[in-house]
Amino acid sequence: MRFVKSLFGRIFSRFTIMGILIIIQFAWMALMVMRLGDYSRSINIMFNFLAIVAALFIIYRDESSAYKLGWVMIICLMPILGTAMYWFFGNKRPSKRIKNKIEPTRARHRDDVRQENCLSEVYSDRILETIKYIADYGPYPAWTGTKSKYYDLGDKAFVDMLDDLKRAKHYIFMEYFIIDEGYMWDSIFDVLQEKVAEGVDVRIMYDDIGCIDKLPLNFTSKLENAGIRVHVFNPLRPVLSLVYNNRNHRKIMIIDGYIAYSGGFNIADEYINKVQYFGHWKDTGIRLEGMAVWNFTVMFLNIWNSFVPTEEDYSKFRPHVNHPQAFDSDGILQPFSDTPLDDENLGENIYLEIINQAEDYLYIYTPYLILDNEMLSALKLASKRGVDIRLVTPGIPDKKIIFRLTRSYYLPLIRAGVKIYEYKDGFVHAKNFLSDDKLAVVGTINLDYRSLYLHFECGTLMVGCSSLRDIKEDFVRTIERCTQIREENCKTNFFGLLFDGILRAFSPLL
């Protein structure tokens, strides 16, 4: 009976119904276009001309060459359908609705995130250039007066998250790609209800597509009835639109303005290994306490106030308002957000900066390895100039096609000297870059097209922090639970190579 109920729920879920309606619209549109082409030779010529224009437009755009090549190939194979697919699924330009909502709010509060004078503590001119780049183009400043704690598992972070939530006195802001009902959410929700009763301002923002097959339809009503303010980011409607490309993939929890959590883990039981769908779930994150939390607060408020009709004075949320004592300082912390609203690929550029600066070693966790030419070339060149590069990817995938595509990049990297390891125990969802005991990034940014170009993401640049030692020790321990992939493990036949080539051609869609 339970199986039948579960099957019935999946068949008639909001995700399934919405998907079917959108597919019907897309199929109807494609059919009408093709019928018009068959009806008139001149119309067919016009459609093919538009496909050529679309291909030239893609080539002209300042984007990743691999991303452009994939879409041009799709349009060449299916001129009419491919052009429509690019417009709805591949066009990086955000919808005017989202841009017109968020950009004015960001512009009004740009002065709230100006760089203050802490850069004299940066001991490397090259690292200083990276910090200034983020401060200028994020724009998110670097901070001292902050200490960090690194978590090598979501399980461990969850314990501290609950303790900090229970101590909240003024406000709690939560922003997540996925929230799923279960032990983790129920534990948090119990605390949030207690906090609301105490007068704490609790706000939750989650991505609609990230949660569409997980949350019941009455979820927002349940939160609102409990006194929690809620915003569903970019809700899915049964209408074809390119607006669905831009998802909010960030994971942020802010408590009283001076404590923040971020990293790879969402709010669902698999992230703390209460359930295991793909073996052991390896995820990482950080806890910040101090001035750098302000960057996360501004990130949250900029989106919240863009869609919820309020205009708040941000200054009342600054870290020192609820913590007048001086904060402990441990290195330099620079939380940042990457947005699809501009042409600045901040996340990818920061990763490239770390790769290009590496001299001794570079350690990377990534769940997906779908590389453009710039990233692939940078990794290969760094390895060839003597940098010890090690990548850890999942041993048990959550998406088999993506896993096949990930493995297709192993061979050129291994031949360049990069060491690749697969996590034997399960799935790696962590997104870490660590280099030379000097700097690291821990955040939400995957090495795939959607994460680098289409989503709202966040991360934290960490320079000279004691947490860097913990990140390195975690990596060394994790490698002991991995299988190293060697060149002979990457051999495949002609049909395998052909299939991998097709996957790469369509990788912008994945």
Q: How confident is the model at residue 1 (pLDDT cuts 50, 70, 90)?
A: very low
Check whether 3 has a pLDDT greater than 50.
Answer: no
Residues 364-378 have pLDDT tens digits of 999 999 998 899 999
Q: Residue 438's pLDDT is what?
A: 95
Answer whether residue 401 shows pLDDT above 90.
yes
Determine which one of 180, 436, 448, 474 is catalytic. Answer: 436
Is pLDDT above 60 for 155?
yes
| The one catalytic residue among 92, 195, 251, 455 | 251
Does 436 qualify as catalytic in the annotation? yes
What token pair was written down for 343? Answer: 């042409």
429 tagged catalytic: yes
**Which whole number is the average pLDDT over 218-232?**
96
Q: Do domains 96-124+145-330 and 346-509 have the same CATH topology?
A: yes
Residue with tokens 């939160």: 223
Confidence at 5, pLDDT banded by 50, 70, 90: very low
pLDDT (average), residues 370-399: 96
Phi, psi of 442 (to 5 degrees): -125, 130
Please answer whether residues 333 and 410 qualify as being in contact, where contact means their C-beta atoms are separated by less than 8 angstroms: no
Is residue 283 flagged as an active site residue?
no
- What single-letter amino acid sits at 153? L
Secondary structure (3-state) at 438: coil
Hey, where are the domains in the chain?
2-90, 96-124+145-330, 346-509
Mean pLDDT of 25-29: 61
Of the candidates 152, 180, 207, 256, the residue annotated as catalytic is: 256
- 58-72, 338-352, 359-373, 430-444, range with the lowest pLDDT: 58-72
Which candidate in 149, 195, 282, 429 is catalytic? 429
pLDDT at 2: 39
pLDDT above 70 for 91 = no
DSSP, collapsed to helix, strand or coil, labels residue 439 as strand
CA distance 84 to 121: 51
pLDDT at 312: 87
Q: What does 166-233 look like in DSSP terms, one character per residue? A: HT-SSEEEEEES-B--SHHHHHHHHHHHHHHHTT-EEEEEEEHHHHTTTS-TTHHHHHHHTT-EEEEE
Q: Kindly report which listed range (133-147, 251-265, 493-507) carries the lowest average pLDDT score.
A: 493-507
**pLDDT classification of 23: cutoffs 50, 70, 90:** low
Q: Which residue is catalytic, options 147, 214, 249, 438? A: 249
pLDDT tens profile 332-353: 999 999 998 888 999 999 999 9
Query: Which parts of 308-364 fold into alpha helices (H)?
Result: 346-357
- Architecture label for domain 96-124+145-330: 2-Layer Sandwich (3.30)
Rounded Cα gap, residues 48 and 399, in angstroms: 35
Strand, helix or coil for residue 267: strand
Contact residues for 452 (Cβ-Cβ < 8 A; gap 6+)? 64, 338, 345, 347, 348, 372, 445, 446
Whether omega for the bond prior to residue 139 falls within 30 degrees of 0, making it cis, is yes
CB 268 within 8 Å of CB 214: yes
Cα separation, 50 vs 67, in Å, equals 20
Classify residue 408 by burial, with Cβ atoms within 10 Å: 0-12, 13-18, 19+.
Answer: buried
Yes or no: say if 459 and 441 are a contact pair by the CB < 8 Å rule.
Answer: yes
* pLDDT value of position 10: 46
Q: Average pLDDT of the chain?
A: 88
Residue 151 near residue 180 (C-beta atoms within 8 A): no
State residue 339's pLDDT score: 92
- 449 phi/psi in degrees, rounded to 5: -65, -45
Asked if the model's pLDDT at residue 325 lies above 60, the reply is: yes
Give percent of the chain above pLDDT 70: 86
Count of CA atoms in the C-beta half-sphere (13 A) of 38: 6
123 pLDDT exceeds 90?
Answer: no
* CATH class of the region 346-509: alpha beta
Identify the pLDDT of residue 337. Answer: 97
Residue 256 among the catalytic residues: yes
The pLDDT of residue 153: 98
Assess whether pLDDT exceeds 60 at residue 170: yes
pLDDT score for 16: 62
